[in-house]
Amino acid sequence: MKYKTNFNYNVKLLNPIIKYVKCKNITNCYKTKNGLLTDQKVYRHKSKKSLISYIKKEGNVFESKKKIKENQGIKHLIISPINPENYNKLNEKEKELLKDIVVKNLLKNLGKYGIIGGIEYKNRGELEHFHIHIGINEKYDISPKNINYLKRSIIKDISENQILKEKLNLKTKNELIKEKLLQRYNKKYYNNIVKNFDEVKQVNNDISRLLDKKEWYINDIKDINKDEYKLYNNMLKNIEYIKYDINVVKSVIEHRYENIKYINKEINDLYIEQDERVANLNKVLESELKTLKNTLKNDLLVCFNILGIQHSFFVKYQRERLKRGEITREEFLNLIFNNKYYIKQLKEYRKRDIHYKIQKKQKENKLKIKELKQFYKQIILNKINDKEYNEMLIEIDKKKVEKMYKLIQKEYERYTENKNIFEVSKGKIKLLLEVIDEKIRQDIKKRKELHKKIQQKHIELENATTNTTTYNDYDYLSL
């Protein structure tokens, strides 16, 4: 059995208006799924951007979570939820409350399609007024049925707010049903059935609160899942960055090892080159020394021969003087002795000079060899320093790699720790959801029992009254 209520009372009182922009060109008209053309204009490309700019320009912009895609067109809705006379009965705080209720209703009813809206304030003579411009996804069909539903939904939300209800003299659906029942039946039966209606209303309110709470907890789980997903992605990104750095450092280490191998090869080549050059230099210097010795030896022999010849001439000359009686025998012997001694001294001097030259040459040879060895020693030492420096850098880089691996381990540990926290939180919320579901099931069961009572009371009322006019069943499912 269904009992209709005259909800047009609130509609006539507030007189909401919902209009849409109609198309003038057939190319801009909306086509239904059946291929039928309508007069609903669809904005695309430049006109779509212009409309959105116009809506944003009005200010007080609101937008649904679901966004309108670039390749989708939009339609233009203009909504005046209340007439200027009633709007000007409200103070500023109540006007803001009204605006918030209407915006929330639009987001609730139209948000699933994707909308963007802005509020425009205007004056009609001395009366202040406002209406809402909405750009909505072209998939939304602006049919009379949908417009009527949207009007009634807006009015229902406004009438359920106690402040606006009293200020605008609105009535809830339940109150309208009660009025109908009071007109139909006497007070005694009216009070009996209204009592059940109030119980149903209370149960519905409880169910509504539980559903809101359930949705809130479900959103909490979704937020936790988002946080967990975000944390997981951040961890993966951080690990990727660290692994990239590790690969870079490892490639540097490999390069340094190659460099050390090359330096070792250079050092070995330098040792071999040093030995070869020292050996060759030794040969050259030994050959030069040998040549010098032979030359000095020949010079000494020549010098000795010349001195011997000179002494022979000197002795011959002095003998002739002795024969001529120019010198005595004793003077002759002294002269010969002195000349022999002089020649001996010359020979000794010559020998010492040759020995000195040979020693000097030997020292020069040793110094050249030493300088050559020192030259190679310095080059080899520089190479060894380069090698040790590379080895030191390798050790530093290895420590860096160890630290980066520890960072990766910390990232995993941090993720695991937070994941456990998330799992515990989700587990608690799921337990609460189970409790809420159980309460909802109990309330639904209770509501069904109350519905049966209402139906029974209705039958009793029908039997008790003399008027036999037929009425529809109560709309108890919508209460």
- The three-class DSSP label of residue 465 is coil
Interhelix angle 187-324/329-464, rounded to 10 degrees, is 170
pLDDT at 2: 41
pLDDT of 178 over the 70 cut: no
- Ramachandran class of 32: left when φ > 0, alpha when ψ lies in -120 to 50, beta otherwise: beta
Write the pLDDT tens digit of every residue in 146-165: 888 888 888 888 888 888 87
Q: Model confidence at 378, in pLDDT bands (50, 70, 90)?
A: very high
Average pLDDT over residues 63-69: 86
Write the pLDDT tens digit of every residue in 227-278: 878 888 888 888 888 889 889 998 999 998 999 999 999 999 988 988 898 8
Strands 74-80 and 29-31: unpaired
Average pLDDT over residues 32-48: 77
Write the pLDDT tens digit of every residue in 451-463: 777 666 666 655 6
- For the chain, the average pLDDT equals 81
Q: Which residues are 80's β-sheet partners?
A: 17
Q: Of residues 217 and 261, which shows the higher confidence score? A: 261
pLDDT at 258: 92
Q: What percentage of the chain carries pLDDT values higher than 70?
A: 84
Q: Model confidence at 467, in pLDDT bands (50, 70, 90)?
A: very low
Q: Report the candidate in 475, 64, 415 with the shortest Cα–Cα distance to residue 230.
A: 415
pLDDT of 175 over the 50 cut: yes
Write the pLDDT tens digit of every residue in 399-450: 999 998 888 888 888 888 888 888 888 888 888 888 888 888 888 888 778 7
Which tokens hold the place of 87?
């709007």
d(CA 64, CA 57): 18
pTM over 0.75: no
pLDDT of 477 over the 70 cut: no
Structure letter (DSSP) for residue 27? G
Lowest mean pLDDT among 114-123, 125-134, 195-204, 392-401: 195-204
pLDDT of 465 over the 60 cut: no
Q: Which residues are 121's β-sheet partners?
A: 130
Buried b (16+ CB within 10 A) or exposed e, 12-39: ebbebebebbebeeeebbbeeeeeeebe
Q: Which residues are 77's β-sheet partners?
A: 20, 134
Alpha carbons within 13 A on the beta-carbon side of 212? 6
Spans of all domains in the chain: 1-170
Which tokens hold the place of 285?
């210097």
**Runs of H (alpha helix) within 111-186:** 144-159, 162-168, 173-184
pLDDT of 68 over the 60 cut: yes
Average pLDDT over residues 68-80: 87
- The three-class DSSP label of residue 69 is coil
Write the pLDDT tens digit of every residue in 280-302: 988 888 888 888 888 888 887 88
Cβ pair 112, 146 in contact under 8 A: no
pLDDT at 463: 62
d(CA 143, CA 146): 5
d(CA 130, CA 90): 13
Q: Which CATH class is domain 1-170?
A: alpha beta
Strands 127-137 and 115-124: antiparallel
Q: Model confidence at 193, in pLDDT bands (50, 70, 90)?
A: low
% helix / strand / coil in the chain, to the nearest 5?
75, 10, 15
